[in-house]
């Protein structure tokens, strides 16, 4: 049920004959099969709780769309969320009805540590930034075993210092991080490991351990409060669920009744202290819900006689603390915080509520640890006959860990231990980054019954034209703190990685984005919640075919139904692109933002200050790439359904028109070409209202993206599609322009091989001359997003007296463009680097060793074939994460703690992007998302990386 580790390339032609992989054996593989076929719901419980729900767009009901200020961190412990929940190392069911997560208190913090803290987009000198230390250590596809590490200071958490010090820093300076505050000096912190293990046969039986290590030099107190709560759904419904009272009738049932609104009153869910027979050293919480009847068994800490104290409150907003008005409930969301931190005993109930915690307290000696054991299970200890924490508890953890090791031993590349550790942590991050994502845009815009009516400005607020969008799914997210929402083109890259370990989930993600409750009626895919109408690169078709091929190649399974379904929906998306983004009908596309944030001279999501419009090299390159991806899928499906041959012909011809428009002057003299012969590079063109055309000579990824569009048509594939072949030959014979956009090689053993590529061979060599030049794009750690040429030669374009400039910035952005929290003017990004690697492999698949180039191109040396160049780029990227000779990892920069401390040095963070000259991680620190592509690169090039001594000495 999982791939073997014999992958050698990350590309190939359609119709590749499936190999016969050695089937992956073991319990985790069987659980995946059972879940995939819906025999058992092994994925019901998982790490689906966000790490930041506050300050998200879906929780923003402001008049001006300022989500950061409307729902700040300071409100998060007081105010009920509308659309989801957050927590530390949390799990929930797949509809996030019942949640479990960790909370801590060191006796000094002003609030419980219930959720991760970070700076908002307004507070950080580079935008939003989480200011915590936490790590995803392990996870399996069915979440049968999961491990998470949180590092908690023993001193008061420096909330104010982090705000103040970052506010004093400019965009040119680095960020002031948690380690910089000194709260971890002398190792005065706790390592808190949270582990989950599922029962061998019961999908709803989840074993939990929380192990707390005192790394400091002295005994230190700790309060550990595992939380169990229901997501508040009752406040937003047309049904009034009534209110709880701490009083109960003699049967132990909460008081409830009819409201004075005339709306039917139903009982809301409840968590109460279980009063049945139980062991004397445990506390048991019982949930009441129409769909989930669960019990949380909480064992006393070893050596302590008394079981933990149960605290109950309501998941209701504290309106009095927030706004100075009366509360709807005497107990509020912050009740447990008020009890533990402030000593307010009246803030909680001792018997029941919709939010509960079990309160453990301990003094942990220096260099010692304690462990807490809990069990979430749909069974109570009704007769006292079940020993929930007997030998079977530890045996379950031992078995699940062993099964996880067995699974990954069959999945991971056969490479040295450090490289395997990076790969496994990358997969863990991908799996931990699943989240329950919920929004109904129509309800979000109009507001809820019984709530304050939204301001009138919201009728035309962001996303007002996406009223059909209704999301209630488990999604793969880029980063559950900095980007706790789906981003459509990120998702595509996630799925390429996820397909290596869980193709079912990968296919599910891609399919969801094209379903009618996501896809706009006009065919546009939703971008992300800040603006669903933004335009992301069209990578969905490419990802769908990559996932299909990975499952076939690695698992021996061919899901043609998946491919057919998603192809039909992507036809709608392709039509949207053609109708909306080709303003002149010249097959030269705009696109706007296209995911590359600040890469251009102007903000491409807004009207140009010059007037007119842009003809975008990347927009056109992406569309050609989209065309070839759709052609590839059509040719895959055509042998078993001849109707796809007609569609294949359509995409074949459309690609040729785009290729001609990008690179050549039209026969009628209308020059739409974006190619600059003098520079040997592709540039955006600025088209003025009077039709003047000015190339914007910025050497960036924009000019490399045309390389993505490359496809080899093999004779064996064409032979299976006779109608397509006839149409193709007719097109060649009747349109002379095709001769300059198609390459052909007659292989005596195979027949005529055809290369479809935006960039012909002569221009390919010129573009690669720039890309592989260490003084331009080629970094020791991958491909720079902007040529280093612009370090000494910034590009400046004047509009009147206003200078618009592009400087080479190897690290963070120096402007607030797109929030200032990302930078495409120099750093390394794995998403685009991965596509460049795949393109080189495809070019090599056609040219073979007949085409060789210098790499690096600015140094003398033997020429290399393009597959070796692709491998070299992957080696450079992999090197970012690996331990060097001195023990440091480039991703950590010069941070001595991360590089040398025994409790840090094996932990790897997967950042959003990387300093082009040092490899240091930048941006979102837990964006395993597309940075998880390093796992795929290790799978592909890890063995050779060792052999050629590029990454490991």
**Percent of the chain residues past pLDDT 70, beyond the cut:** 89
Decide the pairing of beta strands 369-377 and 220-224: unpaired
Weakest-pLDDT range from 3-12, 227-236, 744-753 = 3-12
Report residue 817's pLDDT band, with 50, 70 and 90 as the boundaries: low
* Distance in angstroms (rounded) separating the CA atoms of residues 480 and 929: 10
Name residue 310's beta-bridge partners. Answer: 358
Contact 493, 502 (CB under 8 A): no
At 98 the pLDDT is 97
Report residue 261's pLDDT band, with 50, 70 and 90 as the boundaries: very low
Q: Which residue has the tokens 């292989």?
A: 747
Q: Can you say whether the dihedral through the CA atoms of 181, 184, 188, 189 is positive or negative?
A: positive
At 593 the pLDDT is 54
**pLDDT score of 474 more than 90:** yes
Report residue 382's pLDDT band, with 50, 70 and 90 as the boundaries: low
**Percent of the chain residues past pLDDT 90, beyond the cut:** 74
Neighbouring CB atoms inside 10 A of 793's CB total: 13
* Distance in angstroms (rounded) separating the CA atoms of residues 618 and 604: 12
Weakest-pLDDT range from 267-276, 559-568, 585-594, 882-891 = 585-594
Contact 534, 592 (CB under 8 A): yes
Weakest-pLDDT range from 334-343, 423-432, 801-810 = 801-810
At 262 the pLDDT is 34
Report residue 820's pLDDT band, with 50, 70 and 90 as the boundaries: low
Weakest-pLDDT range from 20-34, 80-94, 822-836 = 20-34
Report residue 291's pLDDT band, with 50, 70 and 90 as the boundaries: confident
**pLDDT score of 256 more than 70:** no
User: What average pLDDT score do residues 905-914 get?
Assistant: 97
Helix axes 830-847, 933-947, angle to 10 degrees: 60
User: What average pLDDT score do residues 431-455 get?
Assistant: 92
Top mean-pLDDT range of 244-258, 658-672, 725-739: 725-739
Task: Kindly compute the dihedral angle of the four CA atoms of residues 936, 938, 939, 940, in this order, to the nearest 10 degrees.
Answer: 90
Report residue 819's pLDDT band, with 50, 70 and 90 as the boundaries: low
**pLDDT score of 162 more than 70:** yes
Helices and strands of the chain, counted as H and E runs: 23, 37
Report residue 265's pLDDT band, with 50, 70 and 90 as the boundaries: very low
Contact 676, 703 (CB under 8 A): no
* Distance in angstroms (rounded) separating the CA atoms of residues 584 and 657: 14
* Distance in angstroms (rounded) separating the CA atoms of residues 516 and 618: 28
Burial class (CB in 10 A: 0-12, 13-18, 19+), 803: exposed
User: SS3 of 213, please?
Assistant: strand
At 250 the pLDDT is 35
Q: Can you say whether the dihedral through the CA atoms of 706, 709, 714, 720 is positive or negative?
A: negative
* Distance in angstroms (rounded) separating the CA atoms of residues 114 and 150: 12
* Distance in angstroms (rounded) separating the CA atoms of residues 77 and 333: 7
Decide the pairing of beta strands 710-713 and 189-198: unpaired
CA proximity to 531, closest of 480, 605, 462 = 462
Contact 204, 228 (CB under 8 A): no
CA proximity to 279, closest of 375, 182, 378 = 375
Considering only the C-alpha atoms of the chain, give the largest distance between any 2 of them, rounded to a whole number of Å. 90
Please provide the average confidence, as pLDDT, over all residues in the chain: 90
Burial class (CB in 10 A: 0-12, 13-18, 19+), 128: buried
Q: Distance of CA 277 to CAs 285, 289, 356, 391, Å?
A: 12, 21, 20, 20
At 701 the pLDDT is 94
**pLDDT score of 333 more than 50:** yes
Residues in Cβ contact with 438 at an 8 Å cutoff, skipping those fewer than 6 apart: 58, 83, 84, 96, 471, 472
The DSSP result for 326-388, as a single string, is --SSSS-TTHHHHHHHH--GGGSBSSEESEEEEEEEEEEPTT-EEEEEEEEES---SSS---T
**pLDDT score of 266 more than 80:** no
Q: Where are the beta strands (DSSP E) in 522-677?
A: 613-615, 675-676
Which of left, alpha, beta for 242 (phi over 0: left; psi -120 to 50: alpha)? left
Q: Which residue has the tokens 């669960």?
A: 294
User: What average pLDDT score do residues 622-626 get?
Assistant: 93
């Amino acid at each position: 049920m999982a791939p073997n580790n014999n992958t050698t390339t990350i590309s190939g032609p359609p119709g590749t004959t499936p190999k016969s992989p050695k089937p992956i054996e073991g319990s985790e593989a069987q659980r995946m099969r059972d879940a995939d076929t819906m025999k058992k719901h092994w994925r019901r419980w998982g790490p689906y709780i966000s790490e930041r729900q506050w300050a998200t767009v879906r929780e923003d009901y402001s008049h001006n769309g300022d989500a950061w200020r409307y729902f700040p961190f300071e409100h998060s412990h007081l105010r009920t969320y509308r659309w989801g929940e957050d927590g530390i190392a949390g799990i929930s069911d797949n509809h996030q009805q019942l949640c479990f997560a960790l909370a801590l208190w060191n006796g000094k913090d002003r609030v419980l540590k219930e959720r991760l803290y970070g700076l908002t987009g307004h507070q950080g000198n580079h935008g939003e930034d989480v200011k915590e230390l936490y790590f995803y250590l392990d996870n399996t596809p069915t979440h049968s075993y999961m491990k998470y590490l949180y590092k908690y200071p023993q001193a008061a958490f420096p909330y104010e210092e982090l705000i103040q010090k970052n506010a004093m820093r400019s965009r040119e300076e680095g960020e002031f991080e948690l380690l910089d505050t000194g709260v971890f000096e002398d190792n005065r912190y706790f390592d808190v490991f949270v582990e989950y293990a599922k029962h061998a046969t019961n999908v709803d039986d989840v074993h939990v351990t929380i192990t707390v290590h005192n790394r400091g030099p002295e005994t230190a107190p700790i309060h550990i409060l595992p939380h169990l709560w229901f997501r508040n759904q009752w406040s937003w419904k047309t049904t009034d669920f009534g209110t709880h009272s701490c009083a109960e009738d003699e049967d132990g049932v909460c008081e409830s009744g009819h409201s004075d609104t005339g709306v039917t009153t139903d009982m809301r869910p409840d968590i109460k202290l279980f009063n049945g027979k139980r062991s004397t050293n445990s506390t048991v919480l019982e949930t009441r819900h129409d769909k989930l009847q669960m019990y949380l068994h909480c064992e006393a800490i070893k050596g302590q006689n008394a079981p933990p104290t149960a605290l109950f409150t309501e998941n209701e907003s504290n309106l009095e603390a927030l706004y100075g008005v009366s509360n709807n409930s005497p107990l509020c969301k912050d009740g447990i915080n008020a009890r533990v931190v402030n000593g307010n005993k009246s803030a909680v109930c001792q018997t029941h509520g919709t939010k509960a915690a079990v309160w453990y307290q301990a003094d942990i000696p220096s260099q010692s640890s304690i462990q807490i054991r809990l069990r979430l299970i749909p069974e109570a200890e009704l007769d006292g006959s079940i020993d929930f924490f007997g030998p079977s508890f530890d045996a379950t953890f031992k078995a699940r860990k062993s099964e996880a090791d067995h699974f990954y031993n069959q999945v991971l590349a056969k490479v040295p231990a450090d490289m395997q550790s990076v790969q496994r942590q990358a997969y863990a991050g991908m799996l931990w980054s699943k989240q329950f994502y919920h929004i109904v845009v129509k309800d979000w815009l109009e507001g809820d019954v019984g709530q304050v009516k939204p301001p009138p400005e919201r009728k035309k607020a962001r996303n007002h034209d996406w009223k059909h969008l209704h999301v209630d799914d488990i999604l793969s997210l880029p980063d559950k703190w900095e980007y706790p929402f789906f981003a459509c083109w990120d998702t595509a890259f996630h799925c390429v990685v996820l397909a290596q370990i869980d193709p079912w989930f990968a296919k599910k993600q891609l399919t969801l984005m094209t379903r009618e409750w996501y896809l706009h009626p006009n065919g546009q895919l939703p971008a992300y919640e800040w603006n669903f109408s933004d335009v992301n690169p069209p990578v969905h078709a490419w990802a769908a075919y990559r996932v299909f091929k990975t499952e076939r190649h690695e698992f021996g399974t061919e899901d043609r139904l998946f491919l057919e379904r998603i192809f039909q929906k992507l036809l709608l998306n392709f039509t949207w692109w053609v109708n909306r983004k080709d303003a002149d009908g010249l097959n030269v596309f705009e696109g706007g933002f296209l995911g590359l944030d600040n890469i251009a001279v102007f903000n491409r999501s807004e009207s140009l200050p010059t007037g007119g419009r842009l003809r975008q090299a990347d927009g056109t390159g992406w569309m050609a790439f989209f065309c070839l991806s759709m052609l590839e899928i059509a040719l895959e499906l055509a042998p078993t359904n001849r109707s796809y041959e007609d569609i294949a012909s359509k995409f074949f011809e459309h690609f040729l028109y785009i290729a001609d428009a990008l690179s050549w002057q039209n026969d009628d003299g209308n020059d739409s070409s974006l190619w600059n012969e003098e520079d040997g590079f592709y540039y955006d063109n600025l088209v003025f209202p009077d039709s003047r055309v000015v190339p914007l000579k910025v050497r960036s990824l924009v000019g490399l993206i045309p390389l993505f569009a490359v496809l080899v048509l093999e004779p064996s594939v064409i032979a299976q599609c006779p109608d397509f072949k006839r149409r193709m030959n007719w097109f060649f014979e009747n349109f002379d322009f095709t001769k300059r956009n198609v390459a052909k090689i007659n292989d005596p053993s195979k027949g005529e091989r055809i290369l479809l590529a935006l960039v012909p061979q002569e221009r390919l060599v010129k573009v690669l001359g720039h890309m592989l030049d260490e003084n331009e794009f080629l970094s020791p750690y991958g491909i720079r997003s902007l040529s280093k040429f612009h370090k000494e030669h910034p590009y400046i374009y004047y509009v009147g007296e206003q200078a618009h400039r592009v400087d080479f910035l190897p690290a963070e952005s120096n402007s607030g463009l797109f929030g200032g929290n990302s930078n495409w003017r120099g750093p390394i990004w794995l998403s685009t680097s991965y596509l460049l690697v795949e393109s080189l492999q495809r070019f090599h698949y056609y040219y073979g060793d007949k085409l060789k180039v210098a790499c690096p191109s600015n140094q003398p040396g033997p020429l290399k074939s393009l597959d070796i160049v692709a491998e070299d780029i992957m080696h450079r990227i992999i090197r970012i994460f690996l331990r060097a000779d001195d023990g440091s990892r480039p991703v950590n920069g010069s941070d001595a703690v991360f590089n040398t401390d025994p409790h840090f040095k094996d932990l790897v963070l997967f950042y959003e992007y990387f300093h082009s000259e040092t490899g240091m991680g930048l941006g979102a620190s837990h964006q395993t998302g597309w940075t998880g592509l390093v796992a795929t690169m290790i799978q592909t090039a890890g063995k050779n990386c060792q052999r050629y001594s590029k990454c490991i000495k």
